[in-house]
Amino acid sequence: MTSRPDRVVLATHNPHKVEEFQSIVRATRPDLDVVGYDGPEPIEDGVTFAENALIKARAAAAHTGLPSLADDSGICVDVLGGSPGVFSAYWAGHTKDATANLELLLDQLSDVADPHRTARFVSTIALVIPGGAEHVVEGSWPGRLATAPRGEGGFGYDPIFIPDDQPQGAERTVGEWSAGEKNAASHRARAFAALTPLLADL
């Protein structure tokens, strides 16, 4: 590929993330085309979100020659000391089974009372420009965990995450939010808001 200033590759093979990023980016940079990544998947052996995001963004930039974005994200549960954290996608094993991950987390918290079920989604986005700069930003979305999944929307842990930033009395999980609501408020939207000034030079 040859580099184009209006195109950026998202270093993921997850189509849900591509769709979510396209929607988030479109809100502030409709001229910027987010394309999926079709190259080899690097080994994510970092121990922080930032390390893994940079591993993926560097690999995509090297493979495509395009400015590359990579998101490493997960859910951090306070009573578990911030876990699953960087291991969110593999919490129930290396098959990356989202349903098994969610069920295991609920089982681990089965005896934890509601006031202690606080958690946050974290998204760290790395931007790597081939032969140029590297940037890392982070967004955090606080909330707490439901005792059972609710809603058909979103993916991953969305059906058990109840964000704090809802109207008084609202107890909806992200699985019950529309895609538009999620994309406007999520941890990825917050991280991208911090990234937007850095994209002005693309």
What are 152-166's pLDDT values in tens digits?
998 999 999 999 998
> Confidence band (pLDDT; 50, 70, 90) for 4?
very low
Q: Does 116 count as an annotated binding residue?
A: no
Banded pLDDT at 202 (limits 50, 70, 90): low
Q: Is 90 annotated as a binding residue?
A: no
156 annotated to a ligand binding site: yes
- Residue of 6, 71, 72, 114 with catalytic role: 72
What does the H/E/C string look like for the chain? CCCCCCEEEECCCCHHHHHHHHHHHHHHCCCCEEECCCCCCCCCCCCCHHHHHHHHHHHHHHHHCCCEEEEEEEEEEHHHCCCEHHHHHHCCCCCCCHHHHHHHHHHHCCCCCHHHCEEEEEEEEEEECCCCCEEEEEEEEEEEECCCCCCCCCCCCHHHEEECCCCCCCCCCHHHCCHHHHHHHCHHHHHHHHHHHHHCCC
> Is 94 flagged in the annotation as binding?
no
The structural domains of the chain, with segments of one domain joined by +, span 7-199
Predicted confidence at residue 109, as pLDDT, reads 98
> Exposed, middle or buried by CB within 10 Å (0-12, 13-18, 19+), for 33?
middle
How far apart CA 163 and CA 142 sit, in angstroms, is 6
Domain 7-199, CATH class in plain words: alpha beta
- 160-195 pLDDT tens trace: 999 999 888 889 999 999 999 998 999 999 999 999
111 tagged catalytic: no
| Per-residue pLDDT, 3 | 45
Percent of the chain past pLDDT 70, that is, above it, reads 97
Is 52 labeled as ligand-binding? no
- Tens-digit pLDDT profile for residues 140-156: 999 999 999 999 998 99
More confident position, 158 or 197? 158
